[in-house]
Amino acid sequence: MSPRHRPPLGLRVFVAILGLGAVAFNAALMLSDRAPGVSRRLGGDLIARLSERLDAGGRPARLRSDPRFPASDTLVHIGVWGVAMLLVGLAVWSWRGLAVGAAIVLVVSAVVEVAQDRYTATRTFEVSDIAANAVGVAVGTLAAAGCYLLWSAVAQLFGARRTADTS
């Protein structure tokens, strides 16, 4: 069963492309040994700080002692996977699709975390990162569900008003 009053298909396709891009970006960033250097060139200081925070839970000892960074990169994991899940949820626009999308994004995030030990030299596997990813996916899922309900309520309100005006 779908939420009422879906947004236009073109908008959902655009959001789907953004969502797939976000998931791919997260995977590439978390599996890249060169992410800090490349991201610094592409996105400036903001992306470089994000990448440094991703590394903060791993091996670089200098970041663990830097008071500007949190001891854990939990908020980064929650944020990047939450945004990715929100975009996926807005693209599918159905309750079943939201649940399936959340499961897929969570599995992808866990696979990326496990793959870090095997395919990178500077990243490490941490169970706490998978937990943070799960929180991010849950937050993104709840945000998408809230958007479904809000969009449907507003569409119904304006649809009811439009029908009353034509009567």
Q: 22-67: per-residue pLDDT in tens?
A: 998 888 877 775 544 555 565 566 655 665 665 555 544 554 555 5
Q: What is the pTM of this model?
A: 0.72
Q: Give the Cα separation of 139 and 146 in Å (integer).
A: 10
The CA distance from 117 to 31, in Å, is: 9
Closest residue by Cα to residue 19 from 141, 130, 113: 141
Q: How far is it, in rounded angstroms, from Cα 24 to Cα 30? A: 10
Give the model confidence (pLDDT) of 93-135 as tens digits: 999 999 999 999 999 999 998 888 887 777 778 888 899 999 9
What pLDDT, on a 0 to 100 scale, did the predictor assign at position 65?
A: 57
